[in-house]
Amino acid sequence: MFIANWAISAFRTSLNMAALCDPASTSAETQDMISGTSHSTDPWKTKVTPSDVKKVAEVVSGDWSRLAVNLSPDQFSMDTIKTIRRDHPQDQREQTQAMMEIWINKFETKATQSKLIEALCAMGRRAQACQVFDPDVVELVRPMQE
User: What's the farthest any 2 CA atoms get from each other in the chain?
Assistant: 54
Q: What amino acid is encoded at 65 in this protein?
A: S
Mean pLDDT, range 74-86, rounded to an integer = 92
Residue 109 pLDDT grade (very low, low, confident, very high; cuts 50, 70, 90): confident
What whole-number distance in Å separates Cα of residue 140 and Cα of residue 86? 37
Distance CA 77, CA 15 (A): 41
Asked if the model's pLDDT at residue 38 lies above 90, the reply is no
Question: Can you tell me the mean pLDDT for 78-93?
Answer: 94
Angle between helices 64-71 and 78-87 (to 10 degrees): 140
CA 106/CA 124 separation, integer angstroms: 25
d(CA 45, CA 141): 12
User: What pLDDT score does 11 carry?
Assistant: 52
| Alpha-helix residue ranges (DSSP H) falling in 28-125 | 28-35, 50-60, 64-71, 78-87, 92-107, 113-122
Question: pLDDT tens for residues 14-29?
Answer: 444 444 444 454 454 5
Distance CA 63, CA 139 (A): 22
pLDDT at 59 over 70: yes
CA torsion, ordered 125, 127, 132, 138, to nearest 10 deg? 90
- Which one, of 108, 105, 109, lies nearest residue 42 by Cα? 109
Judged against a pLDDT cut of 70, whether residue 6 lies above it is answered with: no
Q: What is the mean pLDDT of residues 42-69?
A: 93
Rounded Cα distance between 126 and 117, Å, is 8
